[in-house]
Amino acid sequence: MPVRLKFPSSILKINGVRLSTVCANLYQKKRKDLTLIELSKGSNVVGVFTKNLFCAAPVKIAKKRMSNFNPQYCLINAGNANAGTGYQGLLDTKYICEKVADLVGCKSTEVLPFSTGVIGEKLPIEKINNALPSLVEGLSPGNWIEAAKAIMTTDTIPKSISKEIVLGESTISITGIVKGSGMIRPDMATMLAFIATDANIEKVILEKILLDAVKKSFNRITVDGETSTNDSCVLIATCKASNKCIDNSKTKEYELLKKSIMDIFCELSQAIIRDGEGATKFINIKVVGGKKETECTDVAFKIAESPLVKTAFTASDANWGRILSAIGNSGIDDLDINSVEVHIESLCIIENGQRSSSYTEKKAKKIMLQDEIKLLVNLNRGGCHEEVWTTDLSHEYITINAGYRT
């Protein structure tokens, strides 16, 4: 069960965006598995993708097209990653994009492909092709939640969120969907994310917002330390709103839009963790007092990805020695261990290189039984801080991944 994550509601339509979903029979069990997102002409589209060297065929094509063309459609299939499929995977991806273009009357280079699912299997292009006419026919502005469902793999709940803000005299809408549950770790996690706004904004400024937002959201989560071949995050501005075009980053309007988009990114990335495979706990790890941001993230991820730490959280066991060991093994060679402090919620666990005098097993156990836990590490060596969100590691995670292809 997801940790304090509810089914999305009150999702806003975005002027200039239509969506559609159908079942193309890409799974053994009948479900929606194919999605099309249509963007109005004049939309600005930016994205970031996995850094995995074995990146999937659709990632390679989408990256190139996003840089060189003005996309009008995003085609997303679940159930098949089209990764590890060699040159044939590229041909299959281009073929499907051409079929979409033929139906909607655009150039094939204006169709961005995205896939998620099992790696190493040939893309079932005929099944997808047969489903395309119904997919195009079903395009509608209100299908955001249906799209969030259709892009799911091991997710247990669709993830979508909306926000409305006022820029000048204009009301701006922002809506996003994301999928991801396992194989989660920067860069990008194993996720597909599509966030759209009707705000009027220059592409270069939109890209700046995207890069800043991803750094503090999707690149600050981890379930299992595994980076997917298919990670993609797309930010769309249809420019349909009547606000004065945001063409620099020195305005109040820019700051407000950036903050609102970053809030959406953070909530969506945390939703991935709350729905992490087998998760029973949502764990917030904050590292402060670092000399550099990188050492803060190094410590946070070392703790977050330690199987010993994660299983202790599953058992609600305050085995603080595992946390201490992870910090000491995080690669900070000149770390003064006597200066490090560790707190679980308000309880001090470690100070002066040893267990705190205020620590008791009874107090720690009560905290560890919670399904949301905050862990604070103070390195006491500088003014930098970073935050990472993670899950525990339960028996259910093994069950899900042991049977993923069956």
Q: What does the H/E/C string look like for 225-240?
A: CCCCCCCEEEEEECCC
- Neighbouring CB atoms inside 10 A of 129's CB total 16
Task: Give the model's pLDDT for residue 183.
Answer: 54
Q: How far apart are CA 327 and CA 377, in angstroms?
A: 9
Which residues of the chain fall short of a pLDDT of 70? 182-190, 406
Nearest alpha-carbon partner for 88 in 77, 99, 96: 96
| CA atoms within a 13 Å half-sphere pointing along the CA-CB vector of 268 | 34
Token pair listed for 39: 């963007």
17-274 maps to CATH 3.50.50.60: no
Spatial strand order of the sheet with 44-49 comes to 44-49, 232-237, 192-197, 170-179, 159-167
Nearest alpha-carbon partner for 220 in 286, 314, 139: 286
> What residues does 234 pair with on adjacent strands?
47, 194
Residue whose pair of structure tokens reads 């860069």 in the numeric block: 187
- pLDDT, one tens digit per residue, over 208-245 is 999 999 999 999 999 887 777 899 999 999 999 999 99
Residue whose pair of structure tokens reads 């395009």 in the numeric block: 139
Q: How far apart are CA 397 and CA 227, in angstroms?
A: 16
Residues near 397 by beta carbon (within 8 Å), at least 6 away in sequence:
182, 224, 276, 277, 278, 279
Q: How far apart are CA 38 and CA 45, in angstroms?
A: 12
Q: By three-state DSSP, how is residue 391 classified?
A: strand
Task: Give the model's pLDDT for residue 185.
Answer: 56
| CA atoms within a 13 Å half-sphere pointing along the CA-CB vector of 388 | 29
Q: How far apart are CA 38 and CA 141, in angstroms?
A: 9
Nearest alpha-carbon partner for 249 in 197, 195, 193, 210: 210
The torsion of the CA quartet 22, 24, 29, 30, rounded to 10 degrees, works out to 40
Global pTM reads: 0.94
> What residues does 28 pair with on adjacent strands?
none
The domain locations on the chain are: 17-274, 282-402
Out of 154, 190, 227, 229, pick the active-site residue.
190
- Told to judge if 190 belongs to the known catalytic residues of this protein, a careful annotator would answer yes
* CATH topology match: 17-274 vs 282-402: no
CATH topology of domain 282-402: Ubiquitin-like (UB roll) (3.10.20)
Nearest alpha-carbon partner for 69 in 103, 21, 31, 101: 101
| DSSP annotation of 218 | G
Q: How far apart are CA 367 and CA 378, in angstroms?
A: 19
211's enclosing H/E stretch is: helix 203-215
Q: How far apart are CA 290 and CA 75, in angstroms?
A: 43
Q: How far apart are CA 191 and CA 173, in angstroms?
A: 23
Task: Give the model's pLDDT for residue 191.
Answer: 83
Q: How far apart are CA 330 and CA 379, in angstroms?
A: 12
Within 180-293, strands assigned E span 192-197, 221-222, 232-237, 282-290
